[in-house]
Amino acid sequence: MLEVRDLHSGYGEAVVVRGVSLDVGAGEIVALLGRNGMGKTTLIRSIMGLTPPQVRSGSINWRDESLLGLRPHEIADRKIAIVPQGRRLFTSLTVIEHLTMLKNARAKGGWTVERVFGIFPRLAERRHHRGAQLSGGERGMLAVGRALMIDPQLILMDEPSEGLAPVMVQHLEEIILGLKREGLSILLVEQNLYSTLAVADRVYVLETGQVVHHANVGELAQHTEILFKHLGVH
């Protein structure tokens, strides 16, 4: 479904993503692991058409169509959503306003506000609260809910568990697995290794903008020395 080939992308003179190739299949959860500053966010933003960074060369194809040169809203029209790092919510808009701003009022089927409230009851309680009034966990839920409202087939999630309490991280894992069961594809950037191993099918490890390891989660769990070498974890 998503096919990235030999992608180079960066900021000004600095090329941060240096020749990355990766695939995300239908209904697959693929994780990008790597220490801070290795280029994960740059890669996610490049796929979504967000600038900066600027893509220098390589290809990004989605269902056999090139995404290069498309604007983020055109990419969203192709059913790709992003849960951006830091959530990027509007401080003065309410929960409901965030959820409805991208939904075509005439759209039929798919995700509705009520369905999002069904998986995140806390957001229902806070429906009239503004972005600035929400806790970190509530902001995280809203960022995921907002992404779902475009009825995505692929979600790019940039550290969705960042700042969440352990119980919420577990809830998020369940939601991610539920979305997979519905056939969604997810490209997940995650610092939380255990969360990654709990949900992902395959993992790419990035180091200074290059893929240095690619494995199924089962293989990775048996070769924890790889994680130690590239991620500095035990």
> Segment contacting ligand ATP (CB under 6 A): 40-48, 59-67, 89-97, 220-228?
40-48
Query: For residues 215 and 201, what is the distance between their CA atoms, to the nearest angstrom?
Result: 9
Binding of residue 185 to ligand ATP (CB under 6 A): no
Q: Using the minimum distance from each CB to ligand ATP, give the nearer residue, 86 or 218.
A: 86
Angle (CA) 180 182 185, round 5°: 40
Q: Tokens 């075509």 appear where?
A: 104
> Segment contacting ligand ATP (CB under 6 A): 30-38, 55-63, 197-205, 210-218?
30-38
Least Å distance between CB 16 and ligand ATP? 4
Residue type, 58: G
Instruction: Supply 154's token pair.
Output: 């692929």
Give the one residue of 28, 34, 111, 153 binding ligand ATP; rule: CB under 6 A.
Answer: 34
**Per-residue x/- track, 84-113, ligand ATP (CB under 6 A):** -x----------------------------
Residue type, 103: K
Query: For residues 92 and 98, what is the distance between their CA atoms, to the nearest angstrom?
Result: 10
Q: How many residues bind ligand ATP (CB under 6 A)?
A: 13
Binding of residue 152 to ligand ATP (CB under 6 A): no
Query: For residues 217 and 180, what is the distance between their CA atoms, to the nearest angstrom?
Result: 15
Binding of residue 11 to ligand ATP (CB under 6 A): yes
Give the one residue of 9, 42, 153, 185 binding ligand ATP; rule: CB under 6 A.
Answer: 42
Our measurement of the distance from residue 56's CA atom to the centroid of its chain's CA atoms, rounded to an integer in Å, reads 22
Q: Using the minimum distance from each CB to ligand ATP, give the nearer residue, 46 or 153.
A: 46
Strand, helix or coil for residue 91: coil
Query: For residues 5 and 45, what is the distance between their CA atoms, to the nearest angstrom?
Result: 15
- Which positions lie near ligand ATP, rule CB under 6 A? 11, 14, 16, 34, 36-42, 52, 85
